[in-house]
Amino acid sequence: MKKQRAIVIVLDGVGAGAAPDAADYGDAGSNSLSHAARAVGGLNLPHLARLGLGCVTNIQGVPPDRHQRGACGSCVPRSAGKDTVPGHWELMGCIAEKPFPTYPDGFPPDILNALKRRTGRGVLANRTASGTVVIQEFGPEHLQSGDLIVYTSADSVFQIAAHEDVVPVPELYAACEAAREILTGDHAVGRVIARPFVGNETDGFSRTGNRRDYALAPPAPTLLDKLVDAGKEVLAVGKIEDIFAHRGVTRSNHTPDNASSIDALLEFLDEDFDGLLFVNLIEFDMIYGHRRNPRGYAGALEAFDRRLPDIEAKLRGDDLVIIASDHGVDPTFKGTDHTRERIPLLAFGPGFHRPVSLGQRETYSDVAATLAEHFALPPFPTGTSFLHELRPDAV
């Protein structure tokens, strides 16, 4: 059987304009790409522009390219919520119909008491907070008591922060695994996140790269499962394996930042694998979007753009590359949370260079449907394939 490769690159938190239901989430008017560009006086993204990014939404410095070398469009979210987990699941064909629970007033006592019993440690904070702020506020007390700093956000997350010298990283991971087992049923949050940090009261505290995410398992088979069942490889870069609860992944490189993730992507492209290479680039979301830093956000986009020629140079004749996202996190918007947005959709490759508009797709799952057809799998139950539109000879 002929080997087939596809590469999906998720620009985590790079939205392309408010979704039709954005007002229901308090996100009317959000546009991560457009607003970041405007805030810095324009973006320099020549390679993404050549692929059609300027046709997706209005981006200062990135005009539409009449000679684009790929297909471009956008996708509307169908899943409930605006978090990483439902966004990635939907890309791979699993729609989250019911929103995950959130805890704007903190977690109930029975959850925290169960965690205390499992870990033998107390709990600090238990509130909605910015992760970088909460460790400054509770870091000194944590150093004295050894209690875990537990907090959440507008998203469905249970986050545990601990100093690496007080709670060794393996112990923090074990605490998060315990929390994941506790948070089931009505309290089944989308993710439990380990947030290790270092530092001291005098110089301040900072998070390290040892973050880990403990997500719910998808409620239905995803494209990753279908590929593995068909004997294909699924190579995961970044936090992909965590998002899918380590299901449907054959090999992974759990890289902590964009640069190392792109390096891992390039290393995998040197291999003669048969299947999907699935990459998450986290910095747009984690480092810049949540902290409402449009200049850093813009810089991360430009840094990715500069690496695109390296990626293209390693592509083979039938390789299909899809660049997308999982949600927005407008770095100029109110608050510090994700934004309910359409996502950009760029598709290209040596054999997929037809300059076509894919329009506004009704679900992120069109990506899964397209990949299923690319790999000659049975049609996926959600989404509509756009593979035929990418072919130079398509009618």
Q: Among 3.30.830.10, 3.30.365.10, 3.40.720.10, 3.40.50.2000, what is the CATH number of 5-97+217-390?
A: 3.40.720.10
**Sign of torsion, CA 160 164 168 173?**
positive
Higher pLDDT, residue 336 or 393: 336
386, 370 in Cβ contact below 8 A?
yes
Of 361, 352, 362, nearest in space to 389 by CA: 352
Is the pLDDT at 300 greater than 70? The verdict is yes
Beta bridge partners of 198: 206
From CA 383, how far away is CA 368, in angstroms rounded? Answer: 7
For 64, list phi and psi in degrees, rounded to 5: -55, 140
What is the arithmetic mean of pLDDT over 217-229?
96
267 membership: H or E segment, kind and range: helix 258-269
Point out which residues pair with 157 in neighbouring strands: 191
Q: Which residue ranges make up each domain of the chain?
A: 5-97+217-390, 109-214
Among the listed residues 166, 163, 173, the one whose alpha carbon sits nearest the alpha carbon of residue 197: 163
What mean pLDDT do residues 85-99 have? 95
- Residue 1 pLDDT class (50, 70, 90 cuts): low
The more confident residue out of 65 and 349 is 349
Average pLDDT over residues 263-273: 98
β-strands 251-253, 233-237: how paired?
Answer: parallel
Q: Look over the chain and give the mean of its residue pLDDT values, rounded to a whole number.
A: 96
Confidence of residue 92 (pLDDT cuts 50, 70, 90): very high
Nearest-angstrom CA–CA distance, 341 and 22? 7
Q: Which residues contact 276 (CB under 8 A, 6 or more apart)?
A: 5, 6, 7, 8, 223, 224, 227, 232, 233, 234, 235, 371, 375
24: which strand partners? none
How far apart, in whole angstroms, are the C-alpha atoms of residue 179 and residue 119?
A: 9
Mind listing the pLDDT tens digit for each residue in 164-198? 999 999 999 999 999 999 999 999 999 999 999 99
Separation in Å, CA 334 to CA 47, 290, 341 = 30, 10, 14
CA atoms within 13 A on the CB side of 361: 30
Name 275's bridge partners. 5, 233
pLDDT in tens, 119-164: 999 999 999 999 999 999 999 999 999 999 999 998 899 999 999 9
The CATH homologous superfamily for domain 109-214 is: Phosphopentomutase (3.30.70.1250)
- For 29, half-sphere exposure in the C-beta direction (CA atoms, 13 angstrom radius) is 4
Task: Provide the 3-class DSSP secondary structure of residue 173.
Answer: helix
Euclidean distance between CA atoms 221 and 92, whole angstroms: 9
CB-based burial, 219-236: b 16+ in 10 Å, e otherwise:
eebbbbbbbbeeebbbbb
In the predicted model, what is the mean pLDDT of residues 46-60? Answer: 97
Residue 376 has pLDDT above 60, yes or no: yes
Does position 244 have pLDDT exceeding 70, yes or no? yes
pLDDT tops 80 at residue 393? no
Confidence check: pLDDT of 266 > 70: yes
Per DSSP, the residues of 101-128 read P--TT---HHHHHHHHHHHS--EEEEEE
CB 36 within 8 A of CB 57: no
**CA–CA dist 13, 130 (Å, integer):** 17
Angle between helix axes 294-313 and 258-269 (nearest 10 degrees) is 10
Whether 109-214 and 5-97+217-390 are alike in CATH topology: the answer is no
pLDDT at 48: 98
Show the CA angle centred on residue 242, arms to residues 240 and 243, nearest 5°.
Answer: 65
Task: Say if residues 340 and 329 touch (Cβ distance below 8 Å).
Answer: no
Nearest to 235 by CA among 258, 268, 270: 268
CB 324 within 8 A of CB 343: yes
What's the confidence (pLDDT) of residue 380?
A: 87
Q: What are phi and psi of 271, to 5 degrees?
A: -90, 155
Exposure on the CB side of residue 338, measured as CA atoms within 13 A: 28
Q: What's the CA gap between 249 and 305, in Å, rounded?
A: 27
Amino acid letter, 303: A
Which tens digits make up the pLDDT trace of 6-18? 999 999 999 999 9
pLDDT in the model for residue 167: 98
How many other CB atoms sit within 10 Å of the CB of residue 280?
A: 24
Alpha-carbon span 62 to 57, nearest angstrom: 9
Average confidence (pLDDT) over 236-246: 96
